Homo-oligomer: A and B are copies of this chain.
């Protein structure tokens, strides 16, 4: 039965979860890092940098695109992938909000309430 009950949650919760999920795989973290370091479209070079096949990398890129973190533009025979600043602005916003709500350090007594 599964079939996700995602619809039962907030729009913001789903958006944040989608972004987090996109970053929830080491390969995709590595990809966005590579794209950021080069500050350029790495196209198929990603395949050379990663221990994955071309089709798998393409799939990961598709997910990052779906999450709005990466853009792909056709550039002749190859495809230029860039980070999408707008998507990262949303990510920064949502993740920042979440982190701001979370306990900041161990001596924060508020995180360990009396009932414990």
Closest to A33 in B: B101
Q: How large, as a class, is the contact surface on chain A?
A: 35 or more
- 8 Å CB interface, A96-116 against B: 98-99, 101-106, 108, 110-113, 115-116
Copy count, this protein chain: 2
Which residues of the partner chain B approach A16 to less than 8 Å between Cβ atoms? 23, 26, 29
Q: Which chain B positions have C-beta within 8 A of A115?
A: 40-41, 75, 80
Residues of B within 8 A of A17 (CB): 23-26, 28-29
* A27 within 8 A of partner (CB): yes
**What residues of chain A have their CB less than 8 Å away from a CB belonging to chain B?**
5-6, 8-10, 13-14, 16-18, 20-30, 32-33, 36-41, 51-52, 73, 75, 80, 82-86, 88-89, 91-92, 95, 98-99, 101-106, 108, 110-113, 115-116
